[in-house]
Amino acid sequence: MSQQLSYVIITPYSLHKSRTGGILSRLITRTGLELVAARMFAPSSELVNQYSQAIISRNDPQDSRVQSLIHDYILQNLSPDPATGRRRRAMVLLFKGEDAVRKTRSVVGNITTERRGGETIRDTYGDLIIGEDNQVRYFEPAVLAPPTAEECEAKLKLWTRYSDSDGGILEDTIGYPSGEKTQRTLVLIKPENFRFPSGRPGNVIDFFSRTGLFIVGIKVHRMSVAQAMEFYGPVREVLRTKLKDMVAAKAKAALEKEFGFKLPAEKEGQLGELLGPAFGDNQFDNIVKFMSGQAPSEIPEADWAKPGSERCIALVYEGVEAVRKIRDVLGPTDPSKAPPGSIRREFGQTIMVNAAHASDSEENARREIGIVQPGENNFRQVVEEFCGKA
């Protein structure tokens, strides 16, 4: 069967209730599909109206009453807030693979009053409550997904047409009490979480949800060699100097063992000065290769700007004390020193393979966001590669 592209929209309510991680984990682990793009949207009235009209379909296995409920739900809950005019957040995830539309819809599930113990995403996170008078008391679909490949393509093209004007790193989608100072910070869910289809990316997002912060940007990113070198550039000189003593001690011990005599103490310092910078550069190259898939020495400089082979998720979080809160949940760089309940204690392995990165200051957040560009519209690129121009 040929490759398909499918989408899942996480509703504003599911985002507000921090269910993003759990939903993503189920979609990855139960479909086996590849997450190829993701984008935050603050839908305009125009997009919402057109999408709600496209929801009513003869090809949808759900009955007309449920389709009508979804139509009304979209108009009421994805449109800008009528009281404030503030747009609401929605997240669109794109999955690629064989039979992708059927697989995503199967995991999402249909809407029914009969709960099945959490079998599908909607069983767990959605609700349809009907009173004794047969009137709907409460309705929340949790996510939205296409019923067929044909409808998937049409709806993806619709969202893509609005992906520049209504999508990216969102502005003014969260209301804060007067006087509260908010921050934005960057998180990278690192490549080791994507070696095979697993719940790890979603689980890491779940941990970050404890902060009470809001996701305002998301991008599936393949870091280039050039981006990795710039991103981790401040670390390079630290590695060249910080590791001198360790390198000197190891070199001295190895030489003494090999040649069978003791080296004078001053020679150890000279070894550090000689070998420390070279070892630091090697460690830096290892970091670049881990994040991008290739070390600078392995490819021509002309190819350094091309997207790498390794995948990560870039997230922008917003809220009060965002930098500190994210760093607290993440834990220190060395997983062995991270406290219980932190991301790096739960998911990290080494100082480099430590699950996620987070900016350590507002200044660095701005610098790193500028390098990774979470607002870049690779969502459009993926859709148009599969479906043609929107």
Q: What is the mean pLDDT of the chain?
A: 92
Mean pLDDT check: name the lowest of 124-133, 182-191, 195-204, 365-374: 124-133
Tell me which H or E stretch contains 357: strand 356-358
Q: Is 60's pLDDT higher than 80?
A: no
pLDDT band at 370 (very low <50, low <70, confident <90, very high): very high
Which pLDDT belongs to residue 244? 77
| Three-state DSSP class for residue 34 | strand
Distance from C-alpha of 69 to C-alpha of 128, rounded to nearest angstrom: 10
Q: Is 274's pLDDT higher than 80?
A: no
Mean pLDDT check: name the lowest of 134-148, 250-264, 294-308: 250-264
Q: Is 298's pLDDT higher than 70?
A: yes
Which pLDDT belongs to residue 258? 83
Which pLDDT belongs to residue 1? 59
| Three-state DSSP class for residue 91 | strand
- Give the residue, 69 or 239, on which the prediction is more confident: 69
Task: State mean pLDDT over 297-317.
Answer: 97
- How far from the centroid of its chain's Cα atoms is residue 52's Cα? 27
Q: Is 181's pLDDT higher than 80?
A: yes
Q: Is 292's pLDDT higher than 80?
A: yes
CATH topology of domain 1-168+376-390: Alpha-Beta Plaits (3.30.70)
pLDDT band at 129 (very low <50, low <70, confident <90, very high): confident
Which pLDDT belongs to residue 245? 79
Domain boundaries, the chain: 1-168+376-390, 228-303
Task: State mean pLDDT over 347-356.
Answer: 94
Task: State mean pLDDT over 242-265.
Answer: 80
Q: Is 113's pLDDT higher than 70?
A: no
- Give the residue, 353 or 128, on which the prediction is more confident: 353
Distance from C-alpha of 316 to C-alpha of 214, rounded to nearest angstrom: 8
Triad 274, 277, 283: Cα angle to 5°: 135
At position 174, the amino acid (one-letter code) is I
pTM of the shown model? 0.92
Contacts of 385 by beta carbon, 8 Å cutoff, 6+ apart:
none
- Active site members: 357
Task: State mean pLDDT over 329-358.
Answer: 95
Distance from C-alpha of 315 to C-alpha of 338, rounded to nearest angstrom: 22
pLDDT band at 74 (very low <50, low <70, confident <90, very high): very high
Contacts of 89 by beta carbon, 8 Å cutoff, 6+ apart:
12, 15, 16, 40, 41, 42, 170, 173, 174, 214, 215, 216
- Give the residue, 246 or 386, on which the prediction is more confident: 386
Task: State mean pLDDT over 190-202.
Answer: 95
Length of the chain: 390
Specify whether the CB–CB gap between 33 and 97 falls below 8 A: yes
Distance from C-alpha of 384 to C-alpha of 281, rounded to nearest angstrom: 40
Task: State mean pLDDT over 316-325.
Answer: 98
Distance from C-alpha of 44 to C-alpha of 48, rounded to nearest angstrom: 6
Task: State mean pLDDT over 211-232.
Answer: 98
| Three-state DSSP class for residue 7 | strand
Q: Token match 């719940």: residue?
A: 199
Give just the sign of the alpha carbon dihedral 267, 268, 274, 275. positive
| Three-state DSSP class for residue 241 | helix
Which pLDDT belongs to residue 117? 67
Tell me the percentage of the chain whose pLDDT exceeds 70.
98
Q: Is 118's pLDDT higher than 90?
A: no
